[in-house]
Amino acid sequence: MNASVIYLNGGIALVGILVLALLGLTARCDQSTHDQQRNIFITNKDEYENKVYGAWCGKLIGLTAGQPVEGWSRQQIEACARKVDAYPVDWFFSADFDSQQKGYLRGNFTSAPSNDDSDFLVVSLLALRKNGINLTSRDIADAWVKYCSAACTAEAVALANFRKGIWPAASAATDNPYSDWIGAQMRSDIWGMIAPGMPDVAADYAERDARISHLGDGIYAERYIAAVISLAMVDTDCKRILREALNVIPADCKYARVVKDVLNWHEQSATWSKAWDLLDAKYGLLEDGSRVAPFAEEKYKTGLYANWCNMKWVHADINGGAVALALLYGNGDFTKTVSLGVMCGYDCDCNAGTVGAILGAMWGERAIPTKWKASFNDTYNTDVKIDNQNLKISELAKETAGYGLQVLDQRNSTRTGQHPTREYMHRIGGEAW
């Protein structure tokens, strides 16, 4: 497998990130022949932009697919989906699906509906727009204060702390029982998009973002997923990507242990449901054996905290496991992977959105099946506090990719000509120009 970014005169000319499937990879994608080797050529800036566009589209698709069943158990999802002949899941749930989230059902939207996960990506993009690619945690926090219209759990605590004059990183550590939950992971995508083939750089950006509201595994989760998306820009082997991304988090942290377990279970289990049983049995419960329980400390039972008790299905570790499971058993197929992200349950809008972004980054927007994209009309209806809340997804992607080109240029200028995608290809045993 080859990857190349060609730099000229100390600047960047994205003549090519070239990735050739030369390692006998069997690529899965709905719009192409499923069982043949696929070669991927990212030959110019437009191709890179299309991968970023794919990541944005995949994110929004997964979020919309999973929102009607967010927080449901795997068993509840299956039972309700079977009632409308929608199991296994392979598209957005139809309008007759029994969910309170009617605005996310097929036929009830003409643009990508708002979601806090993707709203945070928009806010991060606005922070980049104001501060540039050398932005700090405080820069991102300031953008939250200016643009966020709503937040949950750790993000809500961080915003409350900002109003008290408590800024990062103290904002994550102060009165925050949600610091190892999924909130940082769910907003990691943009940092991988702007650092193609540079997992360490993506993880660094992700940590600047995560430390606003999270600690420990909450931070590691965002670092990890940002690295996965970065690698998906230049590789198509999901198993290899999942293993390589582990290099950006401590080997002995709980999040890493979950991912490693899922990788091992994938080797042993013929079906995703068997692997899910193992995942849920080991990581699906709180320490007291329950799935939902009140926090022990009284101060976390009233006021702001009354909205969210201790819910295992929102913790980062179990959802990271679900993401890894969907990627491994989805085998590169966009529809299958996103659908598995939904069917696993837990915080499944986040998880389906995450794997959608990863597969979108891997194959590009052009390879995402039309049935998923058409009803969005290239538009995201955000709740971010800006004048025009109907945003063109393609324009979000183009601006994001622009920052990515700056990151590539800056990275090259500080590494004496050794470009990042070449470093990665040497590590995995491929060739590079």
| Residue of 30, 7, 4, 29 lying closest to 18 (CA atoms) | 4
For residue 367, cis peptide bond before it (omega within 30 degrees of 0): no
Predicted local distance difference test score (pLDDT) of residue 44? 72
Q: What is the pLDDT of residues 176-222, one digit of tens each?
A: 999 999 999 999 999 999 999 999 999 999 999 999 999 999 999 99
* Domains of the chain, start order: 2-432 (1.10.4080.10)
Predicted structure pTM score: 0.89
Residue 5 has pLDDT above 80, yes or no: no
Average pLDDT, rounded, for the chain: 88
Average pLDDT over residues 4-20: 33
Q: Does the structure show a pLDDT above 80 at 377?
A: yes
CA distance 121 to 396: 10
Count the neighbouring beta carbons within 10 Å of the beta carbon of residue 170: 11
Q: Please compute the mean of the pLDDT values over residues 97-124 and round it to a whole number.
A: 97
pLDDT of residue 415: 58
* Three-state SS letters, 153-208: HHHHHHHHHHHCCCCCCHHHHCCCCCCCECCCHHHCHHHHHCCCCCHHHHHHHHHH
Residue 277: which pLDDT band, with cuts at 50, 70 and 90?
very high
Q: Is the pLDDT of residue 379 over 70?
A: yes
pLDDT of residue 412: 78
Collapsing DSSP states into helix, strand and coil, what is residue 93?
A: coil
Ranking 45-49, 128-132, 231-235, 243-247 by mean pLDDT, the lowest is: 45-49
Sign of the CA dihedral with 176 first, then 180, 183, and 185 last: positive
Q: Which residue has the higher pLDDT, 280 or 14?
A: 280
The share of the chain scoring above pLDDT 70, in percent, equals 85
What are the pLDDT digits (tens) for 23-76? 233 333 443 333 232 233 344 788 899 999 999 999 999 999 999 999 999 999
pLDDT the model gives residue 432: 32
pLDDT at residue 1 above 70?
Answer: no
Encode pLDDT of 292-345 as tens digits. 999 999 999 999 999 999 999 999 999 999 999 999 999 999 999 999 999 999
Band (pLDDT 50/70/90 cuts) for residue 411 is: confident
Residue 273's DSSP bridge partners are none
Are residues 183 and 218 in contact, defined by beta-carbon separation less than 8 angstroms? yes
The per-residue pLDDT for 46 is 87
